[in-house]
Structure 1
Amino acid sequence: MKTIIFKCFRFSSLFALRKIKSKSFIFLFALLTLISSLPLNILIIKTKGWNFNPIVNEMELEFDTFTLPVEKYLENGEEKFLYFSKLTFKKEGIISDGTPYFFETSTFKFYINQVPPKEETDQGNVIVLIKDEAVFYRENGKKLIGSFSNLNEPIHFDRIANETDAKKAIIEIIETVFSGPYIFSSVLIWTIANIFMQTVLMLAICAIFLLVRVNYQKVATYREYLKMYVGCFVIPTVVSVLIGLIGESTAALTPVILQMGTALMMIGTIYKGSKTEIPPAKRLKDAI
């Protein structure tokens, strides 16, 4: 595989790859495709995955309709409201005086600082948040264990003065605490999709290049084009990944840079390499 990589930095050397017999081409292509998935996978992890969390999806959909337990008090004769005022969520868990809270959406029930009856958890769609444990009891009877350690900053509900901000905070907590499996699913789906997309693109581009003729002669076989494509895949992969890692705005450009760069490298390889290795066509009179 080292030989293949070393030949990827000159068009004439890339053209010569078509004559190398090695199974390393398959391994190298798979490795490069995995590497090219990195920028978007990092972005997926930073944004807590795609919207696969059913709890968060429903809470956002019913944002204006579900209600939180409210605590009323008077301040200078004016009625004020607090939500979960005894709660602080940190990486270590919930800091509170033990006051229990309960609220629900149309599907899910939320128990904070209390353990629900077994009949409730058996039915599923129950979320339990206690001192150092977060559990989502699913409808299928399985449990999803969350982790408060995913929280980046402490969330102090005694500093939140209105229900809208309290709802946003509790949604953020639910999304972060139970983000692990959904991040993994998002990363896995993107990685598989990228491998499939890059493989299909390689097969399609190499099929198109079969139509190319230089000096009226066929340049390479389909298998030889595949080898050249893998060689041309190296530099665009490195460049696209480096650009994609600059920031969130550039991560989405990775597939575009990779695909365009590989195609242009293939054109340059065929043009430069064929000049030296494919003899000029004979004139008609010479052929006669």
Structure 2
Amino acid sequence: MLTEVTATRYVTPLREGGSLPGLLEADDLGTYVTKFTGAGQGRKTLVAEVICGRLAQHLGLRVPELVQVQLDPVIGLSEPDEEVQELLKTSGGLNLGMDFLPGSLGFDPLAFEVSAQEAGRVVWFDALVNNVDRSWRNPNMLVWHDDLWLIDHGAAMIWHHNWPTAAGASGKPYDASDHALAPFAPDVASAAADLAPRVTRDLLARCAADVPETWLLDEPGFDTPDALRDAYTEVLADRARTIHERVTIGTPSADRPSQAPGWLTARPGQTRPGQKGGDAQ
């Protein structure tokens, strides 16, 4: 289970992407980049962050430590930005925090060299979780103390937005032509040989167990949160066995639109297609 902290101060919004994450201080004296249940993308982006983040950590990839952030909406009353006030108002309860890495820099392939082995591990992992949001347009990686750190997995596991089609997800390919690490000749085969055997159902079940139950309630087609957790486990376990065989790396596009879903850039308060309002609890 993720450690739970209580937000004590809203420091500043981070105006990158559509979810308007914020920098918060907490009662453990830590500072966290926090993503909110009241954002337009909804709870499933937080579910993806937890499962993918915890899985990456278990596989030895660097991801900032994740915590549950208990938020009292009153914390936003003094914020002058009405958009921030509304976001905090609709995000009472549990939200997701990622340890703030002070002094980190956004990944730049011209300034930071990545080995073929490390690049292969990241590309294989992104193929496993079908992360379409780590491209040269938006690397979603940081460099901190000369190490590569992975962030922002909210757009991964896109099949969980349409569970009736999820059974076919294990066989879908992964086009890594525009991946931010494609220029480093990623050794995907070696990564698969090392990592795939470690992605057991037991490991996946432990990652899914870290998702707060409140974010898994009322999912159509599932009677209980544990049934939904099992569904995540099954899709990822099936995909892990052979996804390396379906990773393609071709010529990167110069002007093709991002593959990231459109709802990823929705502003707080906006709704996704087919959504009847925010997913806040």
**How does the TM-score come out when normalised to structure 2?**
0.19
**How does the TM-score come out when normalised to structure 1?**
0.19
Q: Between Structure 1 and Structure 2, whose CA radius of gyration is higher? A: 1
Going by fraction, where is helix more abundant, 1 or 2? 1
